[in-house]
Structure 1
Amino acid sequence: MIDLRLKVDPLPLDVPLIIRLREQTDVELGPHDVVLLDEDGDRREYDYNGFSVGVYTRSGESMDGDVLLLLPGQPSAHRLIRANSEHNTFLVTEQCDQLCVMCSQPPKKHHNDMFEHFALAALLAPQNSTIGISGGEPLLHKHRLFEMLSVVIETRPDIRFHILTNAQHLEPSDIECVASFGRDRVLWGVPLYSATPSVHDEIVGKVGAYKTLEQGLAVLLRAGASVELRTVVLQQNWNDLPALSEFISTRLGFISFWAVMQLERIGYGRMNWTSSFKDTSTDFDPLARAIDIASARGIQAWLYNSRPALFLRPIVRMPLQRFLTGNVSISIFAIVVMHAKLVVVFFSGMIMPRGFLHWGHYEVAVILDSVVLSGGVFSYENDSDANRRARLQKKSGPNRS
């Protein structure tokens, strides 16, 4: 469990304070750095311009470079940046204009504008960090968000952002600004749950959301932005997944990749679990067909939180001829997902002994009896190659060498 809220000794603050913890003195210190003075059990004492700052954490855990947000009168600090992680997320607002049936962060009505402090925290982040921007709906405060992004992107060319947004508040007038952020600096994570407007609108709890989303995606397209489409697998959209894949691969081919994920049992997802959760371990066919369609048309599709727990990185960009002939090596962290059945490699090394790969109208029997595990990589041959060699050996006679 990652501690994102840390107990602190309250300071006499009138305004929020951003500090960066420093356990080493041989680094260049800035005005927001606090230096470790003493450690006693789970309490660490830092010096901040002559003031004692007490932070409580697990003994032995390194916090050098972590960035904290301290609020007036609160006995805990928000751990905005964990220096030992390349990925951190800022919850910039809890307001949202949707009520998604599976929302893991149910919205609230109030909003505290902390963009100035988030910008400072980002500027204090380690080199080459990726910072997630989440909510609520961040674009409800679009102008403040864009100001923060502009400052950080201009000052720290090594920082990248991953913004989760419903994209419904983007307008044609935003194209120039979005383009100025740079395709390689900002990844826009946008949810799309169905190609049927009424189904998408039902899932997000907002009439007209699909139509507005289309307009937002058009803005991102015209701005040349990098887009991650995000789809949660639900009972509500289960039968729509192949059609959604058709829509994405024919109408939204500009996206960087398509992330397909299982429902998390938290927030509204827990409350609506019975009516929304779809167990893909008992029925995978519509999802497999959706992945098939997208992959065959050059769309990267990644599967998260599925059952069994697998990471999907399709290898279908490999030319079909190369896949069907010769030896193919694949990372053990990959799985091959084709039309109706799976060839699965589990992290334990367990392998399904035999199966079929389906690719469109191709059906190729795959023999996995001689799978070789070596350094995290396995290789296999398809049966057409094995049979071909057997026929050649039969014709040429036994090997006399």
Structure 2
Amino acid sequence: MIPLRIKVDANADEPFVVRLRSFEGSVAGDIPIALDARDVVLERVSDAAEYRGEGGCIRVHGIDPSQIDGDVLLVNPHRGSADRLVRASSPHNTFLVTERCDQLCVMCSQPPKAHHVDLFAHFEAAALLAPEGATIGISGGEPTLYKEELLNFLVQTMGKRTDLRFHILTNGQHFDELDMPMMRSLERERIVWGVPLYCRSPEVHDEIVGKQGAHARLVETLGFLCRAGAQIELRTVLMKRNAPGLTALARFITSTLPFIQTWAIMQLESIGYARQNWQRLFHDSSAEFDGVGRALDLVRSRGIEAQLYNFPLCTVPASYRHLAPPTISDWKRAYLDECRDCTIKDGCGGFFEWHPKKHGYAKLGAQS
């Protein structure tokens, strides 16, 4: 698994953001690349890779400099570590802005915590150092618990970097009409809002997220986002509890939410609460795909894009595989022994690193 936290030494009192540059990375042909004040350049490699810049020196341990060239780090000198906020070679970069949340989803992969540390200033610094044309994810917890800070971050960052795009996950519980002017001031084509809706039934949705009234509030928010001109990616994690209602949800989407850009049906990730509840939550779509297929057919027949996220291709009927892009982030993606001789592996997103080997998909195997 690709490490997102690495060991570093730094002579500083407070956390800070830097971008790593190797000797080769600081030159394009014969023309030196202009360095930012936050850049540190590789000087030598001994027992550690030593970088130096305007802010001083840092030493990076346990990873080859070629694997982190161009990466943007949030260095915590007291902890002796750094988080790779932006990996230059990866399209999968996400800022975890908080671990607090006001819902308690039965399958949550990032169980909420009570504390919060405001890192928005560091996230802005990191975003400004991201590669050209990057898309940055914003996740939690629930980012809109800090809505004012989040919207200000977007305004500032997008104003300074007109090439950046953002994908923001939110449970859709905290927007109100006072937010409309700022939402409309953003370049809306550069932001996708990923919003979860798990069932047409308010009772089932509220049961899944552990919050009474969440469904009704979410539907209001979806209308708000529509009026704001936002791009909406509606997300539905597939589980035993909501699988029987997929067709009803598809009808609700086509009749009430036709303004969404994408409906993503997502396979379960066996981590956090989902791992604890796996046996009662996991819906084996490799053995029971018909309901998923009917729901996809219905929304697509009405002109709404639909996709399958986190579905290994061999678990999906051939006629639907073009709807299953490789969505599992590279740092947590793995392949099984059964994948070794698969002829469609190159286009497959594989499995989560922590996918259970003994109670996963019933129909699994290499394609030839």
> What's the TM-score, normalizing by structure 2?
0.83
Counterpart in the other structure of 1:159: 164
**Given that residues 260 and 302 in structure 1 are in contact (C-alpha distance below 8 angstroms), is that contact kept between their aligned partners in structure 2?**
yes
Q: Residues 302 and 335 of structure 1: is their aligned pair in 2 closer, same or farther, counting only changes over 3 Å? A: closer
The one-character-per-residue Cα deviations of 1:200-248 (angstroms, maximum 9, x if unpaired) are 0000011111011111111100001000000000011011100000001
1:120 equivalent in alignment to 2:115: no
Measured against aligned partners, the alpha-carbon deviations of 1:99-124 in whole angstroms (never above 9, x if no partner) come to 10111000000000000110110011
2:21 maps to 1:22 = yes
Give the match for residue 36 of structure 1: 42
Aligned-pair CA distance for 1:349: 6.0
In our comparison, the structure showing a higher alpha carbon Rg is: 1
1:288, CA displacement in angstroms? 1.3
In the TM superposition, what whole-angstrom CA distance separates every residue of 1:5-46 from its partner, at most 9, and x where no partner exists? 01101x2433220111111332111111111101236x2100
Equivalent of 2:307 in 299, 302, 308: 302
1:163-202 equivalences under 5 Å are: 163-202=168-207
Deviations 1:350-391 (A, max 9, x none): 9xxxxxxxxxxxxxxxxxxxxxxxxxxxxxxxxxxxxxxxxx
Task: Report deviation, 1:347.
Answer: 6.0
Contact 1:21 1:34 in 2 (8 A): yes
Q: 1:8 to 1:264 in 2, by over 3 A?
A: same
2:226 to 221, 229, 242: 221
Alignment of 1:2-401 (within 5 A): 2-9=2-9, 11-23=10-22, 24-25=25-26, 26-40=32-46, 43-49=48-54, 51-59=56-64, 61-306=66-311, 308-309=313-314, 334=322, 348=343
Q: CA deviation at 1:310?
A: 6.0
Tell me the distance in 1 between the aligned counterparts of 2:94 and 2:183: 20
Equivalent in the alignment of 2:29? none
Maintained 8 Å contact 2:38/2:54: no
Q: Secondary structure at the match of 1:294?
A: helix
Q: Quick one: which amino acid aligns to residue 178 of structure 1?
A: M
Distance 1:215 1:195 in 2: 14
Structure 2: unaligned runs, 5 residues or longer: 27-31, 325-340, 346-368
Gap change, CA 1:125 and 1:202, over 3 Å in 2: same
Deviation at 1:183, TM superposition (A): 2.3
1:328-354 alpha-carbon deviations (Å, 9 max, x no partner):
xxxxx6269xxxxxxxxx96269xxxx
Shift of 1:58: 2.8
RMSD over equivalenced CA pairs, Å:
2.2
Which one has more relative contact order, counting CA pairs under 8 Å at least 6 apart? 2
Is the Cα–Cα contact under 8 Å of residues 312 and 335 in structure 1 kept in the other structure? no
Maintained 8 Å contact 1:8/1:54: yes
More helix by share: 2
Question: How many aligned positions are there?
Answer: 322
- Is the CA contact 1:312–1:334 (under 8 Å) kept in the aligned structure 2? no
Inter-partner Cα distance in structure 2 for 1:139 and 1:311: 34
Residue 163 of structure 1 aligns to a residue whose secondary structure is strand
Do 2:233 and 2:261's aligned partners in 1 also have CA atoms closer than 8 Å? yes
SS of alignment partner, residue 220 of structure 2: helix
Distance across 2 between alignment mates of 1:335 and 1:227? 18
Quick one: which amino acid aligns to residue 149 of structure 2? R
Q: Which residue identity is paired with 1:334? A: H
What is the CA-CA distance between 1:308 and the residue it aligns to?
4.9
Q: What is the CA-CA distance between 1:296 and the residue it aligns to?
A: 0.9
Mapped to 2, the partners of 1:349 and 1:94 lie a distance apart of 37
